[in-house]
Structure 1
């Protein structure tokens, strides 16, 4: 056998694709949308959630819109302070009645 080189460590081989077969993506079949039936009709839960979300969004928007008018931070703070004072007064009244005063 006549070798063109004297190097004994040379190995002959062929070039192959180095992409592992496990890395090849196989597309999964599309899953049906759980919010709709096969005929495209939305489920009751989907419709209920959508209505509830719209309702709560409208309540939040009304609250935020009201803050710019008569419901300023100062008036809200005053209402909270008045409510706290009324609660303290009521608690003192209950304690007096329990002591028999």
Structure 2
């Protein structure tokens, strides 16, 4: 049933009320089809006020539906605006936020925060690598490994002694 024409043929064969039910079920919960779902609901309820059977995709707009004539910026005669235009910086010139890392309101930009975090992470990672290469750093690492090995051996001995007691007490 993956063939689109087969699906369309089956839908076309349905009576109107069944087709409305199928389409409402298919459009339910889909935000982009909310208008279609609402129109189908109105059609199912019998509200003919919003349904115009004469409208097809080929229907041309009547003059009453065309966009209104564009007036000037202020909507007044002459079209001059009392409010001056907002200056837009030319492309290629960095804005204040790009240079300082802060917006005019004093809020740090996302890029500046990300750069600071990456710089601190890189510094910390580099310091730990350098620390492991020093004699003191190597000896601390070796001491840690020796303690871990001793702890594992001690844990193994304790487990063996517990298992040994379990075997002796069993009949």
Q: Report the TM-score, using the length of structure 1 for normalisation.
A: 0.39
Question: TM-score, normalised to structure 2's length?
Answer: 0.26
Task: With a CA cutoff of 8 Å and minimum separation of 6, indicate the structure with the bigger relative contact order.
Answer: 1
More helix by share: 2
